[in-house]
């Protein structure tokens, strides 16, 4: 606990140095808020999933700098599978086979933060997942039927590809992606002045075509673009910005008392595209969305260096977390319509700014009018009522001081980043479970060395009070997750590949030579490979194509070549290929790595490389 105090003190020091008012007047010590939490009215859901039972929700977790996505069963918190996305994964051959290399294009690391599903009419349609790569500025699409990546798009003109959100209504045609780091545009050192002058660095709100996985356009702004959201009407997307100062150091980024929630008007973006109001930078249509240059963007001032923006499931409110301000800012999206028409000022869209705690980062919803916000410095989950916050704001400062909006405060362990409730990013938010993605686990697990894992805590939110039910270690470093009802996903997920979806699917075993190129086409059917030996010459360029012909569910074969650093698996009816140079002469066993049969160990063949 002393560490937590240290953090709190440090944080206050930074804020003091930056001259930040810490919500004086409405601020309450965490202990006072916690004392309000009674013991009654807690959720009583069963979270144990017994052997043979299945979970109620598919959880999709980002893997942070591991570059992957994980599938976790909720409420059991059992990790079911990892989907390699931007990373190497020998277990599936991702990053090694020709199929994965074609998508990764030589970059085998990534930094995934925000996984979201494709939508139809405000809820998940079970078709795709999308995830950002903050490291190499890409977006990957995962097809849910196979739970595999099927497209990756590179995004030029940006760095720090961060907040990502799909269109929610009427369906996902666009996906928006924010760039957290401002850069010169174009960023190639050609313009010497812009290159060295941070005042000429820009942020981008990129729009991606979900079907084609190509870039529709980018809207350029002065500010940085951090977290992203889309509304439930298909009218707006948005970003929080914490660096309207265009600072390049912490103190510069903290100079202003407020930053922005920037709202992007999709109708006006379509207009600009139609009328050709853009310039091309690195082949991408860039629309000017800077303040004073454009009616496409609306800036709502939000204190201070805000982080998450989340939309309430009724579609009415955007909730921005203050991060350096202990408040959240509630924006009424119906008023945003009026502000875009110039009938009211942007700041008049704010309907409440309740006190939450020190370091609010992200907000989620229970579908019953309550929001739950993650509070990093206080290490709490704070449940609060949106309507009560708005009402108190109307009544004035005396009422606000009583913090009538606070419903419950839960101590978590420790330092929470994202928070997410089941189905909370849809109109079907069901208020069953919540995950607190804590950045720090400290003493919650057996000590396994100085590098500690994260702690994902499961909270029952079905009652009035929040009930912590389970600690779950998470390998580095989930940032965000979604939890989707099983009935939406399960019917869409296949047990086998469509064999002929892969243009190279093998039905007949053969070895074909053209000059020094050798193509080996081979089937795998446990416990035998279709060929017993293959002879090539040293220096040959060998392509090995293998199709798994086993139709039995779960009968995966592995293909590994001794001393050739080749190792991948193929699921039933799947085809994978690999191309390599046979640069070492000798006898090399090709063997099955994935236990497939009582005679699995005998499932092997020789690659004979003649000198
Ligand atoms: S960010 Cu990590 S805690 Cu990338 Cu969504 Cu907020
Ligand atoms: Ca700032």
Closest to 375 in 3D by CA, of 132, 34, 145: 34
> What ligand has the least distance to the C-alpha of 359?
1
Q: Measure CA 564 to chain center.
A: 35
- Which tokens is 341 given? 């028409």
Phi and psi at 501, nearest 5°, equal -65, -30
**C-alpha–C-alpha distance, residues 40 and 43, integer Å:** 9
pLDDT of residue 26: 58
Name the residue at shortest CA distance from atom 3 of ligand 1: 417
Instruction: Tell me the best of 376, 480, 482 to mutate to test the pocket of ligand 1, counting ligand atoms within 8 Å of each CB and taking the most.
Output: 480
Cα radius of gyration rounded to whole Å, the chain: 26
Tokens found for residue 77: 């918190």
Q: Tell me, what's the pLDDT at 21?
A: 47
CA angle 136, 103, 584 (to 5 degrees): 105
Residue with tokens 């290159």: 195
pTM greater than the 0.85 cutoff: yes
DSSP 431: -
- 573 phi and psi, to 5 degrees? 70, 10
The token pair that represents 20 in the structure block? 């930040």
Q: Measure CA 132 to chain center.
A: 6
Q: Which ligand 1 atom is nearest residue 439's CA?
A: 3
Counting ligand 1 atoms within 8 A of each CB, the residue from 308, 360, 474 with the most, and so the one to mutate, is 308
Asked if residues 263 and 255 have their Cβ atoms less than 8 Å apart, the reply is no
Q: Which two tokens stand for residue 109?
A: 């690391």
For the CA of 162, the closest atom of ligand 1 is 4
432 pocket-lining for ligand 1 (C-beta < 6 Å) = no
The count of C-alpha atoms lying within 13 angstroms of the C-alpha of 323, restricted to the half-sphere facing its C-beta, is 24
Q: Which residues pair with 364 in a beta bridge?
A: 372
Q: Would you give the DSSP letter of residue 355?
A: B
Residues with C-beta atoms within 5 A of ion ligand 2: 242, 253, 256, 259, 305
CA of 418 to the centre of ligand 1 (A): 6
Q: How far is the CA of 19 from the centre of ligand 2 (A)?
A: 12
Residue ID of nearest Cα to ligand 1 atom 1: 479
**Residue to mutate, 137, 177, 307, ligand 1, most ligand atoms under 8 Å from C-beta:** 307
CA of 543 to the centre of ligand 1 (A): 41
Helix (H/G/I), strand (E/B), else coil: 515: coil
Instruction: Return the pLDDT at 70.
Output: 98
Distances from the Cα of 334 to the Cα of 56, 230, 338, 350, angstroms:
35, 14, 7, 11
Report the candidate in 324, 304, 429, 326 with the shortest Cα–Cα distance to residue 382.
326
For the CA of 478, the nearest ligand: 1
Instruction: Single out the residue of 181, 182, 346, 343 nearest to residue 261, CA to CA.
Output: 346
> Cis link prior to 142 (omega < 30° from 0)?
no
64 lines ligand 1 (CB under 6 A): no
Alpha carbon dihedral 330, 335, 336, 340, in 10-degree steps, equals -150
Ligand 1 atom closest to Cα of residue 480: 5
Q: How far is the CA of 24 from the centre of ligand 1 (A)?
A: 27
Q: What is the pLDDT of residues 536-583, one digit of tens each?
A: 999 999 999 999 999 999 999 999 999 999 999 999 999 999 999 999
Tell me which residues of the chain have a pLDDT lower than 70.
Answer: 1-29, 31-43
- Would you say the CB of residue 265 lies under 6 angstroms from ligand 1? no
- For the Cβ of 116 lying below 6 angstroms from any atom of ligand 1, the answer is no
Q: Calculate the dihedral angle through the C-alpha atoms of 594, 598, 601, 603, rounding to the nearest 10 degrees.
A: -80
**Given this model, what pLDDT does residue 231 score?**
98
Residue 565 CB neighbour total at 10 angstroms: 10
Centre of ligand 2 from the C-alpha of residue 378, in Å = 21
The pLDDT of residue 27 is 64
> Do 401 and 26 contact (CB within 8 A), yes or no?
yes
The response to whether residue 63 sits with its C-beta less than 6 Å from ligand 1 reads: no
Write the DSSP assignment of 458-499 as a string of letters: EEE-SSSB-EEEEEEEE-S----EEEEEHHHHGGG--SS--G
Q: Which CATH number fits domain 499-610: 1.10.10.10, 3.30.465.10, 2.60.40.420, 2.30.110.10?
A: 2.60.40.420
As a whole number of angstroms, the distance between CA 343 and CA 335 comes to 9
Could you state, in order of their start, the residue ranges of all structural domains in the chain? Answer: 499-610
């Amino acid at each position: 606990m002393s560490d937590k105090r240290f953090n709190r003190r440090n944080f206050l020091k930074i804020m003091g140095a930056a001259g930040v008012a810490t919500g004086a007047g409405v601020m309450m010590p965490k202990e006072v808020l916690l004392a309000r939490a009674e013991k009654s009215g807690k959720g009583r859901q069963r979270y144990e999933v017994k052997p043979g039972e299945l979970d109620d929700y598919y959880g999709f977790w980002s893997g942070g700098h591991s570059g992957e996505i994980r599938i976790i069963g909720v409420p059991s918190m059992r990790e079911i599978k990892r989907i390699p996305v931007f990373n190497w994964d020998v277990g599936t051959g991702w990053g090694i086979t020709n199929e994965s290399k074609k998508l990764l294009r030589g970059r085998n690391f990534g930094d995934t933060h925000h996984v979201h599903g494709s939508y139809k009419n405000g809820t998940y349609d079970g078709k795709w997942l999308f995830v950002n790569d903050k490291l190499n500025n890409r977006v990957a699409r995962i097809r849910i039927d196979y739970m595999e990546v099927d497209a990756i798009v590179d995004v030029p003109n940006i760095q720090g590809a961060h907040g990502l959100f799909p269109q929610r209504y009427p369906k996902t045609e666009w996906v928006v992606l924010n760039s957290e780091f401002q850069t010169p545009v174009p960023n190639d050192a050609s313009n010497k002045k812009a290159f060295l002058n941070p005042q000429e660095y820009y942020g981008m709100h990129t729009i991606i075509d979900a079907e084609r996985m190509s870039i529709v356009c980018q809207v350029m702004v002065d500010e940085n673009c951090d977290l992203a959201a889309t509304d439930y009407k298909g009218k707006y997307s948005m970003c929080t910005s914490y660096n309207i100062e265009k600072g390049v150091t912490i103190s510069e980024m903290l100079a202003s008392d407020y930053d922005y929630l920037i709202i992007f008007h999709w109708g006006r973006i379509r207009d600009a595209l139609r009328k050709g109001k853009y310039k091309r930078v690195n082949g991408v249509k860039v629309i000017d969305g800077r303040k004073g240059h454009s009616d496409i963007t609306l800036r709502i001032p939000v204190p201070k260096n805000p982080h998450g923006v989340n939309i309430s499931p009724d579609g009415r409110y955007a909730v921005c977390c203050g991060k350096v301000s202990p408040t959240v800012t509630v924006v009424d999206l119906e008023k945003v319509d009026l502000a875009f028409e110039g009938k009211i000022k942007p700041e008049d869209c704010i309907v409440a700014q309740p006190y939450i705690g020190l370091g609010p980062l992200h907000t989620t919803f229970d579908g019953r009018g309550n929001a739950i916000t993650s509070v990093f410095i206080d290490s709490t989950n704070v449940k609060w009522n949106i309507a009560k916050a708005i009402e108190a704001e109307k009544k004035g400062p005396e009422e606000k001081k009583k913090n009538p909006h606070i419903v419950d405060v839960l101590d978590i362990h420790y330092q929470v980043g994202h928070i997410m409730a089941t189905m909370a990013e849809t109109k079907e938010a069901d208020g069953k479970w919540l995950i607190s993605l804590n950045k720090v686990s400290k003493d919650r697990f057996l000590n396994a060395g100085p590098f500690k894992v994260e702690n994902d805590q499961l909270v029952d939110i079905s009652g009035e009070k929040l009930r912590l039910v389970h600690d779950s270690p998470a390998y580095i470093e989930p940032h965000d997750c979604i939890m989707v009802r099983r009935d939406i996903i399960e019917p869409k997920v296949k047990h086998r590949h469509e064999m002929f979806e892969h243009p190279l699917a093998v039905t007949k075993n053969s070895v074909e030579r053209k000059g020094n190129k050798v193509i080996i086409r081979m089937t795998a059917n446990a416990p035998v490979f279709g060929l017993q030996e293959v002879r090539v010459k040293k220096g040959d360029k060998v392509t090995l194509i293998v199709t798994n012909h086993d139709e039995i569910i779960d009968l995966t074969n592995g293909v590994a070549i001794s001393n050739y650093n080749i190792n991948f698996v193929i699921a039933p009816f799947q085809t994978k290929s690999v191309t390599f140079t046979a640069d070492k002469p000798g006898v090399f066993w090709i063997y099955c790595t994935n236990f497939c049969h009582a005679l699995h160990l005998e499932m092997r063949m020789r690659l004979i490389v003649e000198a």
